[in-house]
Structure 1
Amino acid sequence: MEGIEVETVTFQMIVEAARNFRNIIKETDFCYSESLSDLTGGEVYLKLENLQQSGSFKIRGAYNKMIHLSDEEKACGVVASSAGNHAQGVAISATKLGIKSTIVMPKSAPFAKIYATRKYGGEVVLEGEVYDEAYQKALEIKEATGATFVHPFNDPYVIAGQGTIGLELLKEQPDLDVILVPIGGGGIASGIALAVKSINPNIKVIGVQTKNAPSMYESVRSGHIESIPVNKTIADGIAVGRPGDLTFPLIQQYVDEIVTVSETEISQAFLLLLENCNLVCEGAGAVSVAAMLSGQLDLKGQKVGAVLSGGNIDINLIESIINHAMIATGRRTEIKVSINHKPGELSAFLNTIAEELGNVVVIRQSRHREGVSMYDLEVTVVVETLDVEHKQRLIQKLIETGYEIEYTN
Structure 2
Amino acid sequence: MPEAPVTPDDVRRAAEVIRDGVHRTPTFTSRSLGSGRYLKAELFQRTGSFKARGALNHVRSLTREERDRGVISVSAGNHAQALAWAAGTEGIDALLVMWRTASAAKVDATRAYGASVDLEAADPGEAFARLRELEAETGRVFVHPFDDPVVIAGAGTVGLEILEDVPGVETVVVACGGGGLVSGIAAACVPAGVRVVAVEPEHSNALALGLAAGEPVPVTPETVADALTAPFTGQRPIEICGALGVEVVLVSDEEIREAFRFLYSRAKLAAEPGGATAVAAVLAGRIPGSNVVSVVSGGNVSADIASAILARL
TM-score w.r.t. the length of structure 1 is 0.73
State the distance in 2 between where 1:225 and 1:233 align.
22
- Work out whether 1:308 is the aligned partner of 2:299: no
Cα distance in 2 for partners of 1:268, 1:152 equals: 28
The alignment partner of 1:34 has SS state of: coil
Give the aligned partner of residue 60 of structure 1.
53
1:235 aligns with 2:225: yes
Q: 1:36 aligns to what SS in structure 2?
A: coil
Confirm whether residue 70 of structure 1 aligns to residue 60 of structure 2. Answer: no
Q: Does 1:196 align with 2:183?
A: no
Tell me how far apart the structure 1 counterparts of residues 143 and 246 of structure 2 sit (CA, whole Å).
28
Q: 1:89 to 1:294 in 2, by over 3 A?
A: same
Q: Which residues of structure 1 form unaligned runs of 5+? A: 1-6, 327-409
Q: Quote the residue 2:202 is aligned against.
A: 211
- 2:172 and 2:66 map into 1 onto residues whose CA distance is 37
When structure 1 is superposed on structure 2, of 166-175 and 154-163 the one drifting more is: 166-175
1:180–1:206 CA contact under 8 A, matched in 2: yes
The 1-side partners of 2:145 and 2:84 are apart by 13
SS at match of 1:80: strand
Identity score, percent: 37
Question: How far off is 1:234 after superposition?
Answer: 1.0
Distance 2:227 2:93 in 1: 24
The whole-number CA distance in structure 2 between the counterparts of 1:182 and 1:241 is 15
Write the distance in 2 (CA, Å) between the matches of 1:255 and 1:167: 18
Provide the residue aligned with 1:25 in structure 2: 22
Conservation of the 8 A alpha-carbon contact between 2:5 and 2:239:
no
Q: Which of the numbers 159, 177, 182 marks the counterpart of 1:166?
A: 159
**Structure 1 residues 123, 254: closer, same or farther in 2, change over 3 A?**
same
Asked if 1:321 is matched to 2:312, the reply is: no
Indicate if the aligned counterparts of 1:214 and 1:228 stay in contact, CA closer than 8 A. no
CA-to-partner distance for each residue in 1:81-106, whole Å, 9 max, x for gaps?
12210100100000111100011221
Q: Distance in 1 between matches of 2:220 and 2:126?
A: 16
Quote the Cα distance in structure 1 between the aligned partners of 2:181 and 2:293: 14
- Contact 2:275–2:299 (Cα < 8 Å) also in 1: yes
Could you say which structure has the greater relative contact order, defined with CA pairs below 8 angstroms and 6 or more residues apart? 2
CA deviations over 1:29-76 (Å, ceiling 9, x no partner) = 111112112xxxx31111111111101001111111111111000000
Paired positions, count: 310
Determine whether 1:297 maps to 2:287: yes
Alpha-carbon distance in 2 for matches of 1:321, 1:256: 30
Query: What are the within-5 Å matches in structure 2 for residues 237-256 of structure 1?
Result: 237-256=227-246
State the 1:145 CA deviation: 2.2
Instruction: Report the Cα distance in structure 1 between the residues aligned to 2:190 and 2:101, rounded to whole angstroms.
Output: 39
Q: Distance in 2 between matches of 1:216 and 1:174?
A: 29
* Larger CA Rg, structure 1 vs 2: 1
Take 1:228 and 1:133, find their aligned partners in 2: how far apart are those partners? 12
- Supply the distance in 1 between the matched residues of 2:171 and 2:94 (Cα, whole angstroms): 37
Q: Which residue in the other structure is 1:368 paired with?
A: none
Aligned-pair CA distance for 1:226: 5.1
**CA–CA distance in structure 2, aligned partners of residues 8 and 142 of structure 1:** 25
- Looking at structure 2, the residues matched to 171 and 126 of structure 1 have their Cα atoms a distance apart, in angstroms, of 41
Change (3 A) 1:231 1:141: closer
Q: Residues 48 and 299 of structure 2 are in contact (CA less than 8 Å); yes or no, is this contact kept in structure 1?
A: yes
- The SS at the match of 2:121 is coil
Tell me: CA distance 1:218–1:104, structure 2 relative to 1, closer, same or farther (3 Å).
Answer: closer
Q: How does 1:100-111 map to 2 (within 5 A)?
A: 100-111=93-104
Question: CA contact under 8 A between 1:182 and 1:284: conserved in structure 2?
Answer: yes
Q: Which amino acid aligns with 2:26?
A: D
Letter in 1 for 2:195: K
* Contact 1:215–1:228 (Cα < 8 Å) also in 2: yes
2:13 counterpart letter in structure 1 = E
CA RMSD of aligned residues (A): 1.6
